[in-house]
Structure 1
Amino acid sequence: MISLLQRVREARVEVDGQTIGAIGAGLLVLVCAERGDTEVEADKLLAKLLKLRIFNDDAGKMNRSVQDTGGGLLLVSQFTLAADTSGGNRPSFTQAAAPAEGRRLYDYFVSRARAAHAEVATGEFAADMQVHLVNDGPVTIPLRMVPVVV
């Protein structure tokens, strides 16, 4: 699974002009399931982003996690993170999970996040969304959990 984390002061997602998910300070997480991803990658990604120390402590050092700060999570599905641009000027998305599998893994990821963290808001899978955010820092970090091939 691929994600892009953005430390935010606030973020919201709109669909058809209506806000469907919003948080104050916390993490906006763009999430993409790739072909071959399973619940294992989703669980690893969630564990990593909940513990990643990218929030400032009292000394101004990045030493606190979103769980330490009690910040919100805004989880937004974004299959375009799987874009392959190596073959020309039009991206290929063949590495993204098929829509049904992508939705299943996104829904799983959201349910696990809600079980592990107090404040979780979401976008809408496969919707035309407008994402508004105030990036704090700015701090933007890509995370990728690659399936283990046995």
Structure 2
Amino acid sequence: MRAIIQRVKEASVTVNGSIVSQIGRGLLVLIGVSAKDEKQDAAYIVRKILNLRLFPNADGSRRWDKSVKDLGFEVLCVSQFTLYTELKGNKLDFHRAMDPEFSQKFYLDVIQQIRENYVSERVKDGIFGAMMDVQLINDGPVTIVLDSCTRGSDQISSGDTKLIHSSERDSKPAQM
């Protein structure tokens, strides 16, 4: 699973000319689901979204001191299967992305996990599979790229499922 996390002053998602979600200060998170993602990939990404210290403290003396959760800011999640694009010459190949038949449920389960681990009303999302206009005002800018496949064993908390090496994973998508 991949997540592009951007610290924002505000962000919104518009579909067919209507705003479907908007937030004030917080994080805009673009989420891509791989064909090989499993529950522990989602748990890692959810934990990082909520706990990364991307904000300064109140007096500004420490730049990377507080998380979105610490400050009660908002989170706007947007599904983006193109995060698993590979280029073949100038042609796009999406075979590494999870099939839409499974990825919508997986993505929605991730959003639900974020809501369950935070304040549900502060977690917004776009419309899965829709063509969306995403507007944001970057704060910084601060942009973090996360990939659950590259996490180290030192980043696993006691509540996580054990890591499964990619060679041990089944080729079909896991269900959450």
Match runs of 1:1-150 below 5 Å:
1-57=1-57, 58=59, 59-85=61-87, 87-118=88-119, 119-146=122-149, 148-149=164-165, 150=168
The Cα offsets for residues 97-127 of structure 1, whole Å up to 9 and x where unpaired, read as: 0002110110100111111122101000000
Shift of 1:48: 1.2
Q: Given that residues 39 and 108 in structure 1 are in contact (C-alpha distance below 8 angstroms), is that contact kept between their aligned partners in structure 2?
A: no
Amino acid at match of 2:79: S
The Cα offsets for residues 36-79 of structure 1, whole Å up to 9 and x where unpaired, read as: 10122111100012110111112141111111111100010000
Say how many residue pairs are matched.
149
Q: Distance between the aligned counterparts of 2:91 and 2:34, measured in 1?
A: 19
Q: Distance between the aligned counterparts of 2:21 and 2:43, measured in 1?
A: 22
Q: Distance between the aligned counterparts of 2:77 and 2:12, measured in 1?
A: 10
Of Structure 1 and Structure 2, which has the larger fraction of its residues in strand?
Answer: 1
Q: Distance between the aligned counterparts of 1:113 and 1:143, measured in 2?
A: 16
Q: Which SS does the other structure have where 1:55 is aligned?
A: coil
Q: Distance between the aligned counterparts of 1:130 and 1:60, measured in 2?
A: 34
Q: Bigger radius of gyration, 1 or 2?
A: 2
Q: Given that residues 54 and 62 in structure 1 are in contact (C-alpha distance below 8 angstroms), is that contact kept between their aligned partners in structure 2?
A: yes
Could you tell me the TM-score, scaled by structure 1's length? 0.95
CA RMSD between the two structures: 1.1
Q: Which SS does the other structure have where 1:21 is aligned?
A: strand
Q: Distance between the aligned counterparts of 1:55 and 1:90, measured in 2?
A: 38
Could you tell me the TM-score, scaled by structure 2's length? 0.81
Identity of aligned residues (%): 38
Amino acid at match of 1:130: D
Q: Which SS does the other structure have where 1:62 is aligned?
A: coil
Q: Distance between the aligned counterparts of 1:41 and 1:100, measured in 2?
A: 19
Tell me which stretches of 4 or more aligned residues in structure 1 moved more than 4 Å: none
Long gaps (5+) in structure 2: 150-162, 169-176
Which residue of structure 1 lines up, in the alignment, with residue 172 of structure 2?
none
